[in-house]
Chain A
């Protein structure tokens, strides 16, 4: 009680320091005056009375000290004094402070950004009881297929199992949405009645879907995400009840979801999913994704066991479609996190290394400065400051530097956050939620403190070692001697090692990136513009209408100046949604169905190979006569030809894409083209079969246009041309083929860009680090070099002395770094295309680059050493 009361009173006193000092002075004055009066009455002279009174009082200064000692909280006041002193020290060396603060700010900022990102990604789900919300995937363990969608009959069986409180099926779908007189392509999703209620989040406006919305005739309703409500509809509060045109028909907006609603994909608009034939009855057509909320009473493991029972039952009942398939429950939280692990690990690793390098650099700077301040410290110690007291002051200074850095770090942090969010990566869902939330700020503060300790520990410890006599004697620095040099050397070694690891990682990604961009994809991506169109199937319901549309658009485009060719295909190699089928051929040697070869197939218009410049190796290209009712034909790529008809020509043979498909005669062999990264990752190299578009028309397709000049310049002309043909069928994803190839590797690009940036920073810091150490050494040995030169040493001798020192540090650091890099680069394997994680070229290049920069950084101060004028050097001390 008493302690608390006293502490409170003291705290108050700290705040009212001046006022309290005045009070004491006044009381003292009164006291003196009274004593003087008494002395006067006792018969002393006026002067004597005053003198006696002052003597008796024991002196105001001493009393004031004692009074203050009683009044204050020494800890806080000392700290405040240290802070004031620290600020003065920072202001006195603004260049030094700025370098330290900026170096740290970059490190802390990068970490804050990545932390914020990982928070947004790893805890994105503001859902009620999230552990009960699961995706239901279909796996085929035997063939190693994971996370396949479900068939509608399977979904209905699961829904009837009683395991789910709510369950919904959804399909991603693009919509042509008309607002006013503008039609745009908007990512959307069709979802069954309960699907939006699975998460247990109420809409901010209106309602979600009801069961009857998904029945025929009532499906013309739409629910908006918060983001699209804000951006396209100006957050119109009366949006519910308004009608918008989606794919050519009026839809009533019935609700708006909150911003916290977890997105399953990049969807912005939801419409009801109507489960109708043929998918509603065919168990082989796995087209819908399923998300459900387990009933409250059941545990995940139990639910999975019961799902296994259902899967076995279905496998027995429908061996053809469900024979090897089993349903797997995966909590949505896990699913959201799963894909992000690799990239987050890499990013955290990178920013962690940057911060460590920054700390090493700052520690080094502080050590150098510690030498300059050695005299100050020694003087303080001589005047009675304890080691504790000096250490404490230094720690205060370090924390101050850290705090400033932490505050400034918010700027680079926000820049990095925006940059990362702009990639819209699927592996980083909800990256738009990345922001400076309170936990992120707390992380920033904690990290700043941690960094202060990290970089300040060694310099503070160094000050502990102050040798009083030597410190005072030394005119300029060199107080700490060899221990000090070893320490600074050790920091440079650490910096080099860390920089090597980071640069090797970045280098591998760059190599892989270059490989990807320069390697021959099998087609010629230069001067080609690609775009997509998805025809509204209500208006273009049959094959003839779809074909007619594409023919009109292509004819129109071909007539435009600057365009040398135009074609279309439902799948182009840069797209990651593929049609695949089991291949049956005239010379089939397949015993079991699971051994059947899987191929990609695409419908292409007649000029496709010419526009894409895919060489035809044998036979012919498609011609206009390969129309709907003509004999079914196909073109295969070389790998398919060689695998199925080794040593003979495939021309004239037949193939079938699935049991119920027509036999097609092979009329040509095309060169192999590069496939998208996803399919390569999942299946490795897969064969490709091309079908003539008129024989397998599609509502959605990609248009490819070969141009004379820069293809990007023609984008608006082409858009206008399509607009005049049908304003409600917008072209979207208009981009050059080169960009399209790069875009699908956005993850790779993001990781590369960030790693290269961080690697560059690491490179800069490591270079500065070695420069600082060498310059410092040279500065301290000026006298020695002066003498050597005066005694006849050649400049080259001096140069080699300095270099030997620097080289030792760099070689040690590089060796350690290479060892670590060798192990750690395995983390980026999944992002590497065509480059092994231990690629010797990259390792060599990094070593050479860092070595060269290190040598240049040492050469500058080393040269100064050779130019030392002996007379000046000897006079210097």
Chain B
């Protein structure tokens, strides 16, 4: 089993927004589980990072939250992505693609680049 690493700062926001964009409204536990799943259990979401992160997203207006009831009839706070959040996600995704693209060129130089 690959060593499990903590989510890097800065990337959590993108992951949370993407998760909410795909899955619809989720509570904090659900978001954490989903991110771990999606990463193939290579990432651990520390709750001490998740909730402050969610709060910041809410302060920025990218997510909204309200109390709801979970499948197990438990009172939980549900987070949903907002319109501003979708725009932000789109921008961030684009940037990430560019960044990874560039990094890839550096790390695996093709023959014609020589």
Contacts and interface: CB of A to CB of B under 8 A. Distances in A.
Interface of A: 2, 5-6, 9-10, 23-24, 26-28, 30-31, 33-35, 37-38, 56-59, 62-63, 66-67, 69-71
Interface of B: 27-29, 32-33, 44, 46-49, 51-53, 55-56, 58-61, 70, 72, 74-77
Contacts of B29: 30-31, 34-35
Given A30-B70, A38-B33, A70-B55, 9 more contacts: A10-B59, A23-B77, A28-B47, A28-B51, A30-B76, A31-B29, A57-B48, A69-B52, A71-B55
Contact of A9 (B32, B33, B59): B59
Contacts of A70: 52-53, 55-56, 59
B77 to A, nearest CB: 5
Nearest to A20: B55
A34 B52 contact: no
B49 A66 contact: yes
A35 B29 CA distance: 8
A5 B46 contact: no
A37 B55 contact: no
A495 B29 CA distance: 67
A71 B54 CA distance: 11
B95 to A, nearest CB: 16
A67 B55 contact: yes
B80 to A, nearest CB: 15
Task: Name the residue in B47, B58, B74, B75 with the highest tally of chain A Cβ atoms < 10 Å from its Cβ.
Answer: B47
Contacts of B75: 26, 30
Contact of B52 (A9, A26, A30, A67): A67
Given A9-B59, A70-B55, A58 B72 contact: no
4 nearest interchain CB pairs?
A63-B48, A9-B59, A70-B52, A34-B29
The binding surface of chain A is classed by DSSP as helix
B51 A63 contact: yes
B74 A27 contact: no
B68 to A, nearest CB: 11
A27 B28 contact: yes
A234 to B, nearest CB: 62
Nearest to B53: A70
Contact of A33 (B47, B49, B74): B74
B27 A30 contact: yes
A67 to B, nearest CB: 5
Contacts of A31: 28-29, 32, 47
B7 to A, nearest CB: 12
Given A67-B51, A71-B55, A5 B61 contact: yes
A33 B73 CA distance: 12
28 contacts: A2-B60, A10-B59, A23-B77, A24-B51, A26-B77, A27-B27, A27-B28, A28-B51, A30-B27, A30-B70, A30-B76, A31-B29, A31-B47, A34-B74, A35-B29, A37-B72, A38-B33, A56-B47, A57-B47, A58-B48, A59-B48, A62-B48, A63-B47, A63-B48, A66-B51, A67-B51, A69-B52, A70-B59
B61 A58 contact: no
Nearest to A10: B59
A31 B29 CA distance: 5
Nearest to A30: B76
A777 to B, nearest CB: 54
A67 B47 CA distance: 10
Contacts of B28: 27, 30-31
B16 to A, nearest CB: 14
Task: Name the residue in B46, B48, B58, B74 with the highest tally of chain A Cβ atoms < 10 Å from its Cβ.
Answer: B48
A26 B49 CA distance: 16
Contact of A5 (B49, B51, B60): B60
Contacts of B56: 6, 70
A9 B63 CA distance: 13
Contacts of A58: 46-48
Contacts of B49: 66
A292 to B, nearest CB: 65
Nearest to B62: A2
Task: Name the residue in A26, A56, A70 with the highest tally of chain B Cβ atoms < 10 Å from its Cβ.
Answer: A70
Contacts of B70: 30, 34
Contacts of B46: 58
A62 B49 CA distance: 10
Contacts of B77: 23, 26-27, 30
Nearest to A37: B72
Nearest to A70: B52
A6 B60 CA distance: 6
A34 B72 contact: yes
Contacts of B47: 28, 31, 56-58, 63
